[in-house]
A and B are shown apart, each in its own frame.
Chain A
Amino acid sequence: MIRAIASKEFTQYWRDGRVVTVFGIVALLGLAATVTGWSAVSAMERERAAAVAMDREIWDTQGLKNPHSAAHFSRYAFQPTFNLAVFDPGLTEYVGNAIWLEAHYRDPATLRPIEDAVEIQRIAQLNPAWVIQVFAPLLIFVLLYGAVAAERESGTLRQLMAAGVRPVSLLLGKAVSAFSLTGLLVCGVLVGSAFLMSAEGIEALPDTGLRTVGLVVLYLVYLAVFVFLALGVSALSSRSRTALAGLLGIWIVATVLGPRVGPEVAGALAPAPSAPEFAARLERESSDPFWGSSEEAVERRQRVMDGLLAEYGVETVAQLPINYDGYLLQASEEFGNEVFDAMYDELWGSYERQRAIARVFALISPTLAAQNVSMALAGTGIHAYRHFADEAEQFRREFVLLLNQEMIDHGGAEGYAYVSGNDFWEQNPDFEYAAPGIGAAVRGVWGDVMILLLWLALAIAVAAAGVRRGFLGEMAA
């Protein structure tokens, strides 16, 4: 019976020009988005590879230079754009591509692609995940708004009941047909993305296979939520017109309003530090208390000197077997690093608080929850960005230590006049970034996964109750 109902639904979809048109538009958009995504990721990766090579070359050929001066010039950590960004670029456009690993300062990632984008891109950005997140629910609603209500209006529901169709069969028959059609679309977009993702020159994320399976499951659950919601609303509405109005309202709240209102309210309730103010504070607090002329700063430097003299058992800096300037510079780095840790914790903490508040809005917008999980699986979410930024910072600290150590060990009395050459620079390591596996990616979005599952359970319950009530209503009539 379920197969018969599904088969009849397919035939009806095929004959309905509106369904074919909407399906065609969404499929076309999905295709265009996939090709656009692939083109953007390929270009970013090509540019990154060239920049990495150039950075190495510049570093190796800088000639004679004081190691600490070199630490100021330093190097860059370039963020890779991994294969799954073809499907869901997530925050790729909104976080910087490169972090300067200079001495004395923890820089934010700069060169955000969004800064080069045209202003209307702020309305919507064409990518495969967005097409599915926004348009697949709309397609489902167009397919299903009359699933039960129209049957009732036209009197065919009674005929179905008379033919012995049970509520569960009707529910599943309708669900299977709409789910298969939209599932086909999602799988088509994902397969297309996967094909393009495997193109040469695009780096693969660890656990790409598992992540892709995760994305398929995520979007099938996401579709199922809307399929059952549509069936429930259709069954509970007296007319298909009312069902359509209700479903369009749900679509607008879920896909247009929720994802924007959530983060906006979160920003109002838990504001992140103002960017210019934060930048100024970061510079001031990491530097002035160490290098400034305040009593505190002078004492701090004195303590460093006293500690070092005591360690070597000498009276004056001149008697030290190491270069004191380099040692002091490294001490200032260590002081600054503690400030950076505290201030960046504050910054990340504010992002996390915002995310937690925004997540509440996932209770009215499953799209918001799906977006978070999708970005996490694609390695383009906030946690992936933080992981990269933290790894880059760890490397910066080791790299600056390496350069300061060169001055400490070999600078002797020359101090700032001491220079190293290309043979030293050539030995210095590169920043090699290894993205985290799927476990770490998913850890930050368990809450969103649970909310999606809650939505699914709720949608199934509404659909089951609605169809049962529809049958009872018809029986009573």
Chain B
Amino acid sequence: MIAPAILAHERRALLQDRLPVVLLGLFALICLFASLRGAEKREAMEEAATAFEAEHLQQASDWRERVVAVESGAVAPEDDPWAGLAMDVARPAVAAPGPLADFSQGVTAVHPFTSGVSLWRSVDRLFGNYQFQSPNEIRAGSIDLAFAVLFIMPLVMIALAFGALSRDKDTGRLGLLLSHPISVRELVRSKLLVRLGAVFVILVVALFAGLFIGAGGVPGGERLGRFGFWFLAASGYFAFWAGAIYWSVSLNRKSETTAMMMIGFWVLNSLVGPAVLAAAAQLIHPAPSQLAFLSTARAVSNEAYRSRSDVMQGMLLDHPELTVENYTIPEYIRVSYLVTQTVDRSVEPVLDDFEAVQRRRQAFLSLMQYAAPAALAMRSINEISGTDLARQVRFEVEVRDYKRVIARQVEGKVLSGERLTVAEVDAVPSYSFRESDLGAVGRNVLFPIGYLFALGMLAAALARRNLVRLQTRFREA
């Protein structure tokens, strides 16, 4: 009977104490703001992506109409000599925001998500100009649910729970409480259950609110599936912190020592750990120089342009069938194509290096993340949300490959200077970005999430042992 009484008392105490109520209210407010802001950003991204795609598809459609007009005889070929020019084939490539981009913005703020794929552009210029975001805003990072869960939630948990045992001890009430038929373990557990339980309830409500706010109504299947994993990850991180706090409390130190210990741990886990890991990953696996990459692309472009007659000669030797007697399209178009292709081929190894470095860094972090649970939780959450770096790298690689596919398909017509037919225009594939399937996401994140739960349980087991010892000491005293 005594444990339920303590639970009831704790509930009342929690609601009557102004500070915990303010903290819980603040946490709920931050979560709400994060959901609304996340939804707003995701919507803005979606609108930008949709508008970009629609504009480019419209251009492609208008261009196709010109080919239709010439092919059907409605327009004389000499009246529109550029209709069906193979070099002008252009298609949009868009990676719509990840299914839960409103929950975690991840790397989306700094990377491109649209590309106007065109044969006029070499692969180093495929993503156009997108660097217009406010640098101050990017630097500060965003307030999204990931931030609320990874940073704010542990702080609220610490603030509510650090005095679970020590406060009674400091005020001399502990002896009185333990004179009742209740163990220290039950006492601490009841207090933590109420205090941390309140945080968990807000977390659950906030996540479900975010689910519906971001979807703008009833969420679809993909979003729901991802949400399941997100919920699991957030719960895992909560469990990890609950275990850590339980253990800290069980050490039975003075309130301020417990508070300092927990804050110290928060600082190490949430700030120092990720910062050091990031620095180490970049130091051990440095990226190739972006400036050197740029210089290489320019040098190759310059060299190919200078030796364009050799390049053309080489192409005609390789493809004598492309020699057309009545060539009417200006030569600069063929030259541009060949220069662009030469640049593409030359920068390929450097781009491969960039990807390889990212892969090595990811492998390094996949291992080292277990030393910093905040980093681990963040990486898992980003992957579930579809805002992780690996997804972005995949998009950029796919866009470059897509350009190669288009180039292969129309190369003959570019070099021979012939028009594309309507059938050939229609045969140009379109690009669509496919999210990783739920199963793959699950396979990648379940172990790290399980690790968080395991850490939490381990800490709880240690705490339990500490409290049993403490109980013995009390009895002996």
Contacts and interface: CB of A to CB of B under 8 A. Distances in A.
B277 interface: yes
Interface string B26-47: 0000000000010010001001
List of 3 A-B pairs having minimum Cβ-Cβ separation, nearest first: A263-B140, A51-B291, A121-B278
Contacts of B354: 116
Interface of B: 37, 40, 44, 47-49, 51-52, 55, 106-107, 110-111, 114, 128-143, 147, 150-152, 155, 159, 163, 167, 170, 254-257, 259-260, 263-264, 267, 270-272, 274-279, 281-283, 286-287, 289-292, 294-295, 298-299, 301-302, 305-306, 354, 361-362, 365, 374-375, 378-379, 382, 388-389
Contact of A123 (B52, B132, B271): B271
Contact of B291 (A48, A91, A277, A350): A48
B292 A47 contact: yes
Interface in A98-117: 98, 107-117
A365 to B, nearest CB: 11
A283 B92 CA distance: 17
Contact of B136 (A36, A50, A55, A91): A91
- Interface class of chain B by DSSP: helix
A146 B362 CA distance: 44
A355 B136 contact: yes
Interface in A329-366: 347, 350-351, 354-355, 358
Contact of A272 (B137, B140, B150, B267): B137
B275 A94 contact: no
B133 A275 contact: yes
Interface stretch (A57-65, A177-185, A443-451): A57-65
Contacts of B299: 54, 58
Which of A36, A43, A240, A358: most chain B CB closer than 10 A?
A36
Contact of A36 (B110, B279, B301): B279
Contact of A249 (B47, B159, B264, B277): B159
A439 interface: no
Contact of A280 (B52, B107, B155, B361): B52
Contacts of B289: 43, 47, 50
B291 A78 contact: yes
B34 to A, nearest CB: 9
Nearest to A267: B137
Interface in A9-56: 18, 22, 25, 29, 32, 36, 39, 43, 47-48, 50-51, 54-55
Given A73-B301, A119-B389, A276 B130 contact: yes
Nearest to B45: A274
Given A47-B289, A97-B290, A244-B255, 13 more contacts: A54-B295, A62-B302, A73-B302, A91-B139, A112-B131, A117-B278, A122-B107, A138-B267, A241-B259, A273-B132, A274-B48, A276-B52, A382-B135
Nearest to A110: B131
Contact of B132 (A108, A116, A119, A134): A108
Interface in A55-85: 55, 58, 61-63, 65, 73, 76, 78
B283 A264 contact: no
B168 to A, nearest CB: 13
A264 B136 CA distance: 10
A278 B286 CA distance: 33
A213 interface: no
